[in-house]
Amino acid sequence: MPRAQVPVTGRSWAPGSLWPMCGIIGVTGSDDPLRFVLDGLALLEYRGYDSAGVVLVATAGEAEGLSGTGALWRRRSAVRGESIPALERFAGTDLVPGARTGIGHTRWATHGAPTEGNAHPHLDCTGRVAVVHNGIIENHRHLAAKLVAAGHVLRSETDTEVVAHLVEAEVTAGASLLEAVQRCVSEIRGDFGLVLASADEPEVLVATRQTSPLIVGRTSSLGLVASDISALLETTRELYALGDGEIAELRPGVIRVVDRAGTRVEPTRLRVGWGVRAAQREGFEDFMSKEIHEQPRALTDTILGRIHADGTTELEELGIKEIELAAISRVIVIACGSSYHAGLTGRVAIEAWAKLACTVEIASEFRYRNPIIEPGTLVLAISQSGETVDTFHALREAKRRGALTVVLTNVVDSLMTREADGVLYTRAGPEIGVASTKCHTAQILLLQVFALHLASLRRSLSTDEIAELAALVVAVPARVGDVVARFDEYRHTAEQLAFVDDVFFLGRGGGYAVALEGALKLKELAYVRAEGYPAGEMKHGPISLIDRDAVVVVVANRGSLSAKLLANVEEVRARGATVVALCDTDDPEVAGLADIVLEVPHTDETVAAAVLVVPLQVLAYGVARARGNDVDRPRNLAKVVTVE
């Protein structure tokens, strides 16, 4: 078990099951469900703050201004970061007298802009079924088409709303909420945590999940559910992890769990050893280590429904016609910092797979260089935040010069998405730590999916070659999971380097961008001078800096340039440097050359970057922590850089 692990035991609660997006809360049996839900949302807000919403279930006839036929009261707000305070104005107003049940949601948008109309809870056509959701419903388009053909009216752009309508059909036919969910859930593909309320059963909530976690709990008078434990800890320690595919019916003081066949299941009790603040970090010491651990999940979500092991890619969301994309003749990537490094990795795939000329430019330089944009140029801006002012202006300049533009970002509806012709979203969930970790690896993987998409449109590779590469891409989240599991081991290694002053990071080919990213992480977190360099370039000058005090980290995974890289390692060793090798497990040759080894399970070099960068994140993390630095808020830096 890694050191920073969650001190809760119980089924389904492991780092691999962390789900970064959206907060869910629900209660039944409360005298003031709105207060309860709003307090819970405030604790969950770190999971997403694009919008928030609540539904209270009134006993028919007891409330004013109800939606639909009258028993669900819904309020939503989509003022980024301010939605929960906006909902506070309804608290204490007794607008829904008699309501004892409520659900709430704080959203991190994935499907549909962060508008009020897309904010959860979503309702069915009759306004009698409400749903909140965390995750991605992969087959939502297919389900929506079926529902519309059957006469349903869908009002939002979300993947979630289909669930309310599927359940509506069953409830209208006489099913209880539990039976309705049981019947519908097998139609839904993807990852989800769902909580539903129905006007017909004012003291019942139904919750179910697939991959993304849900915790249920009770007191003698309450039934409780939340997407994570932090929202429930102040109310009860009687908490249970809902298992994959299980369905919980909550009533005041009572939890009943069944599987999809309706067979009663005994839920697993969680043993909880910590308080609310730690719970927001899910027990991790800081957001950075939490976000490092979230990477397998973030990568899985990022490629969900977009690439399949047979080589098919689906990127309709991009919003650019395939014919236009197939016709591009050149790609210019613009970005800053870690996003720039992701761009360098993306270039390798764009050139090798899509066979397109690709350059990667520092955004703050591009704009002022009078760049040449020929017809057929695609300018691809990469920005985690979508708000970095250097990248934004470079994007605007490229557009002014006639480029087709795409932004690859993690933040729905951010500034750049409104500027670009097309958008690709990573689905890493909110990244709180200033140092980019999960967003960086998600960018890399999405760029590789995009490169394969271009390759298939341009027919630059055979179908077999595309399928082979797609299988490698699809396997990356699991490989990343393998390295994340070695977090403690890498951190321990980092502690041996706690007091270094000067570090070179060397790589060749695909390893070069990894070296740059490793150096940036060490600089920004540990405040150590660190330089990322192409290994072959050392002999053209920088090698004069190498002596017995130098520390050289080499990205030395097995690959086509291994022999050349090892020759460069010999060169720095001969001058007395301490060599830290990031290499494949069981590579005695590299291990024999190194003083310190960071082992990674072998990953094909074409897709290895996202895997290799993880130990270097942990290396920087470990050195920074050993020096007593605040890893979530390193000095002089901001998460979003809105100045030139």
Q: How far is the CB of 75 from ligand AGP (least distance, A)?
A: 32
Q: Which is nearer to ligand AGP, 336 or 609 (CB)?
A: 336
Q: Which of 606, 616, 640 is nearest to 346 (CA)?
A: 606
Q: Which position among 339, 441, 448, 557 is part of the footprint of ligand AGP (CB under 6 A)?
A: 339
Q: How far is the CB of 283 from ligand AGP (least distance, A)?
A: 24
Q: Which is nearer to ligand AGP, 435 or 526 (CB)?
A: 435
Q: Which is nearer to ligand AGP, 26 or 532 (CB)?
A: 532
Q: Which is nearer to ligand AGP, 232 or 336 (CB)?
A: 336
Q: Which is nearer to ligand AGP, 100 or 341 (CB)?
A: 341
What does the angle CA 350 – CA 353 – CA 359 come to, to the nearest 5 degrees?
Answer: 20
Torsion of CA 583, 589, 592, 598, to 10 degrees: 10
Question: Distance of alpha carbon 148 from its chain centroid, rounded?
Answer: 30
Q: Which residues are bridge partners to 218 per DSSP? A: 223
Check 22, 184, 336, 583 and give the catalytic one.
22
Is 189 in a helix, a strand, or coil?
A: coil
Burial class of residue 90 (count of CB atoms within 10 Å of its CB; 0-12, 13-18, 19+): middle
Q: Which residue is nearest to ligand AGP (CB)?
A: 337
Answer yes or no whether residue 227 interacts with ligand AGP by CB under 6 A: no
Pair 270, 229: CB distance under 8 Å: yes
Q: By CB under 6 A, what part of segment 340-399 binds ligand AGP?
A: 383-385, 388, 391
Q: Which position among 252, 305, 337, 481 is part of the footprint of ligand AGP (CB under 6 A)?
A: 337
Q: How far is the CB of 495 from ligand AGP (least distance, A)?
A: 21
Pair 56, 34: CB distance under 8 Å: yes
Active site residue 22: yes
- Residue 184 CA to residue 170 CA, distance in Å, equals 8
Q: How far is the CB of 520 from ligand AGP (least distance, A)?
A: 6
Per-residue string for binding with ligand AGP, 388-407, x by CB under 6 A?
x--x----------------
Answer yes or no whether residue 212 interacts with ligand AGP by CB under 6 A: no
Check 355, 399, 523, 639 and give the catalytic one.
639
Q: Which is nearer to ligand AGP, 435 or 590 (CB)?
A: 435
- For residue 443, the tally of other CB atoms under 10 A from its CB is 30
Answer yes or no whether residue 522 interacts with ligand AGP by CB under 6 A: no
Q: Which is nearer to ligand AGP, 129 or 620 (CB)?
A: 620
Q: Which is nearer to ligand AGP, 179 or 517 (CB)?
A: 517
Q: Which position among 163, 307, 336, 581 is part of the footprint of ligand AGP (CB under 6 A)?
A: 336
Q: How far is the CB of 438 from ligand AGP (least distance, A)?
A: 11
Q: How far is the CB of 367 from ligand AGP (least distance, A)?
A: 14
Interacting residues of 11 by C-beta distance below 8 A, sequence separation 6+? 241, 243, 268
Q: Which of 229, 183, 188, 187 is nearest to 206 (CA)?
A: 183
- Residue 520 CA to residue 29 CA, distance in Å, equals 51
Q: Which position among 91, 467, 471, 641 is part of the footprint of ligand AGP (CB under 6 A)?
A: 641
Burial class of residue 64 (count of CB atoms within 10 Å of its CB; 0-12, 13-18, 19+): exposed
Answer yes or no whether residue 545 interacts with ligand AGP by CB under 6 A: no
The pairs formed by 216-220 with CB atoms below 8 angstroms and a separation of 24 or more are 216/240, 216/242, 216/248, 216/250, 216/255, 216/257, 216/267, 217/255, 218/250, 218/253, 218/254, 218/255, 219/253, 220/253
Q: How far is the CB of 410 from ligand AGP (least distance, A)?
A: 8
Q: Which is nearer to ligand AGP, 246 or 361 (CB)?
A: 361
What does the angle CA 624 – CA 630 – CA 633 come to, to the nearest 5 degrees?
Answer: 120
Pair 75, 131: CB distance under 8 Å: no
Q: What are phi and psi of 613, to 5 degrees?
A: -75, -25
Size of the site for ligand AGP (CB under 6 A): 14
- Residue 122 CA to residue 137 CA, distance in Å, equals 14
Is 27 in a helix, a strand, or coil?
A: strand
Q: By CB under 6 A, what part of segment 430-459 binds ligand AGP?
A: 434-436
CA distances from 552 to 256, 519, 530, 560, 587 (A): 58, 11, 10, 21, 18
Q: Which is nearer to ligand AGP, 19 or 340 (CB)?
A: 340
Active site residue 125: no
- Residue 39 CA to residue 43 CA, distance in Å, equals 7
Which stretch of DSSP H or E encloses residue 477? Answer: helix 463-484
Q: How far is the CB of 390 from ligand AGP (least distance, A)?
A: 8
Pair 488, 3: CB distance under 8 Å: yes
Q: How far is the CB of 219 from ligand AGP (least distance, A)?
A: 43
- Residue 359 CA to residue 347 CA, distance in Å, equals 7
Q: By the criterion CB under 6 A, which residues form the site for ligand AGP?
A: 336-339, 383-385, 388, 391, 434-436, 524, 641
**Active-site positions?**
22, 639
